[in-house]
Structure 1
Amino acid sequence: MAQRKNDSKNAFPLKTTALAAVVALIQGCAQTPPRQQAPSEATVAAHVAAATHAAATDLAPLLTLCKPAPAARPAQAELDKGLAAFIAKPAPPPGQAFDNLYFVGADWVSAWAIKTSDGIILIDALNTQAEAAALIEGGMRKLGLDPAQIKYVLVTHGHGDHYGGAPYLAEKYRARVVMSDIDWTMTETRLEFATPIWGAPPKRDVSVKDGDRITLGDTSVSMYITPGHTMGTISPVFDVTSNGQRHRAMLWGGTGFNFGKDVPRLDAYIGATQRMGAVVQSQRIDVLLSNHSNIDGSQAKLAALRQQPAAAANPFVLGTPTVERSLAVMGGCAQAQRDRFLLQ
């Protein structure tokens, strides 16, 4: 497939009046958050306790982030073995989460289709071409969607479980592949995780920065760069509707601490959770999604939607305070892990 010219200037109008504020926010994410105490076993325990309190019972799955993370990335053989095991798991059925949002993912990793008045914005593309064909294309058809309407494939970050199927979809449907400029550069220079299972990353196409938007038909998706999981992770924010009610959704683009002993990166992650907590509050974001269903419980929620009356409350709608607590849990666990590394 020939590489297409980047026309992001037209497709993604940046609010120029807010440019200075955007730059300041990005810089703020990269700075080390203030520390009240020197790292110690006591501060680790305090951060874990605060995260546990914020999680209560409903957000308990997020507390897996509070478990000690390895100081080194997995060896190649270990990575390949674990990835093959994940891919081998039977996929859940596709499902409709909102009037305009559909799940077309695998057991381990998710893909989401936003239906607009002028086509489909796909968020993430799973591990491989085979998964993209069976689960994204096949899932869409089962849900009454036409894969040929995919106009954009938004890759939340430059790891192969999210970009693996993107080259196939781009070539077959002429869909534009969107990724942050930071992560395009990473995939073009030195991949953080490389395995033949995923194949080559897509060719650079549409490059976005913090504050850019995808606008397709009646839908706009705002791009927030939330560094940490990768330094160019995108957490998109967009509107969804359910039973005639509009809700504001955020998909947290990268969650785990699988990058080894990297304290500045954890500091960036902490800063991103704090910054996005303020965004959640100001925009009244009340839906939190993930690209891994063990994080957002999407499989159980979709199963509940299939069983409950159409007029019942949508289990994906958490409320703004709960979305804020989710970010507090992730940020608190990151603080605990940062302090663990500083003690080593």
Structure 2
Amino acid sequence: MPFFKPRARPPLRAEAVGEEAFRAGRRQLLALGCACCAAMALAPNPAAAQSPLVQQHLAAARAAAGDDLRAYLRLGEVAAPTPGLRSASPAELRAMATPPPGRAFDNLAFVGSRWVTAWAITTSDGIILVDAMDNDADAERIPDAGMRQLGLDPAQIRTLVVSHGHGDHYGGAGHFVRRYGSRVVCSEADWTMMETGLEFDRPDWGRPPRRDLAVRDGDMIRLGDTALEVMITPGHTMGTVTLLFDVRQGGRTHRAMMWGGTAFNFGARADRIPRLQGYIDATARAREIAARQNVEVFLSNHNVYDEAVEKLGRMRPGAANPFVIGAAATQRALTVMHECARATMAAWSA
């Protein structure tokens, strides 16, 4: 079973999501369709985009992105679009064929789609799965089947970490709970959100899982020889879970950060300013932590940002692992996110 340390808390509860909470959630922003890429759907304000402060932050983001991290500049589209950077729509991404699963490292496998990612972390005592796709059918068809293709047994999934409380990440949790008895981990804040009022909903998303294991900032999720350090990075949701852990390839170990929720998906909300400020603060803090821990691998749960599918396609025996971008590039990626958030704040405040 997963072990959480160091915070003490009251006994865990298992509560069903009520019908009224379900109906309330469905009413909220259903037309957006996509919780995680809603930032791309919000049209920039042409006048605000020309603000010197907006342009200053976008210039800083573009400088940090260089040629290798341009995918993260999609975040700046809320303030002003980046020339030549096109974003596929959520519908287009969902329609694409499922990419083959692949091992990014000896103990980390990509088992997701073009639209949303699931990551399998193998340990000496079973598997930790991060995120569960849109619904039970997708969970069985994509990560479950993908693990089998890689020689992994989905019945060994002891822990399912839900990075945040949006249905494209929790929707398939029921498949793993019912079939394999997996324990579900989410942040305290997002358990509460999923129980009391969903921020987004879609008719093709599965229902939120029942409350199981809750984590807070600084907790450790342990399974066998593996420990995942929990960072709560507010913004995308108030309880977005970002993970720090070691990945291994051959005899080498690298520190990885898996960012739990990237887009500014709260543009129409009344609390958008404090939400965005939370994101700004979280990316600044994450840069400091990544520098201290020498993070060389920066991952997302959406391929549109970390380009995991493309990196898997570039992997060659004996060659450098494209997922190891280095400590300096990790700092640059977080800087792009931070500066795009500050540009958006300047645009919204103009």
* TM bin (shorter chain): 0.7 to 0.9
| Aligned with residue 41 of structure 1, among 51, 59, 63 | 51
The whole-number CA distance in structure 2 between the counterparts of 1:216 and 1:69 is 42
Deviations 1:89-131 (A, max 9, x none): 2110000000000010011100000000000000001111111
1:168-207 to 2 correspondence within 5 Å?
168-207=175-214
Structure 1 residue 271 and structure 2 residue 281: aligned? yes
Structure 1 residue 208 and structure 2 residue 215: aligned? yes
Aligned twin of 2:248: 241
1:155-170 to 2 correspondence within 5 Å?
155-170=162-177
Deviations 1:198-220 (A, max 9, x none): 02110100000001111101000
Preserved contact between residue 217 and residue 232 of structure 2 (Cα < 8 Å)? yes
| Aligned with residue 303 of structure 1, among 284, 297, 313 | 313
Deviation at 1:314, TM superposition (A): 0.5
Deviation at 1:171, TM superposition (A): 1.2
Aligned twin of 2:4: 12
The whole-number CA distance in structure 1 between the counterparts of 2:221 and 2:78 is 37
Q: Secondary structure of the equivalent of 1:286?
A: strand
Deviation at 1:222, TM superposition (A): 0.6
Consecutive unaligned residues in structure 2, runs of 5 or more: 9-48, 81-88
Aligned twin of 2:31: none
Deviation at 1:195, TM superposition (A): 1.6
Deviation at 1:304, TM superposition (A): 1.0
**Amino acid across the alignment from 1:158:** G
**Amino acid across the alignment from 1:267:** Q
Deviations 1:110-161 (A, max 9, x none): 0000000000000001111111101111000000000000000000000001
Structure 1 residue 283 and structure 2 residue 290: aligned? no
Q: Secondary structure of the equivalent of 2:165?
A: coil
1:39-78 to 2 correspondence within 5 Å?
41-68=51-78
Deviation at 1:84, TM superposition (A): 5.5
Aligned twin of 1:131: 138
Q: Secondary structure of the equivalent of 2:160?
A: strand
When residues 68 and 114 of structure 1 are mapped into structure 2, their CA distance, relative to the original with a 3 A threshold, is: same
Preserved contact between residue 136 and residue 206 of structure 2 (Cα < 8 Å)? no
Preserved contact between residue 222 and residue 238 of structure 1 (Cα < 8 Å)? yes
**Cα RMSD between the aligned structures?**
1.7
Deviation at 1:88, TM superposition (A): 3.0
Deviations 1:270-329 (A, max 9, x none): 000000000000000100000001100101110111xx2x22111000111110110000
Q: Percent identity?
A: 51
When residues 293 and 83 of structure 1 are mapped into structure 2, their CA distance, relative to the original with a 3 A threshold, is: closer
**Paired positions, count:** 299
Q: Secondary structure of the equivalent of 1:227?
A: coil
1:88-103 to 2 correspondence within 5 Å?
88-103=95-110
Q: Secondary structure of the equivalent of 1:67?
A: helix
The whole-number CA distance in structure 2 between the counterparts of 1:43 and 1:144 is 51
Deviation at 1:243, TM superposition (A): 2.5
Deviation at 1:86, TM superposition (A): 3.8
TM-score, with normalisation over the residues of structure 2? 0.83
Consecutive unaligned residues in structure 1, runs of 5 or more: 1-6, 17-38, 71-81
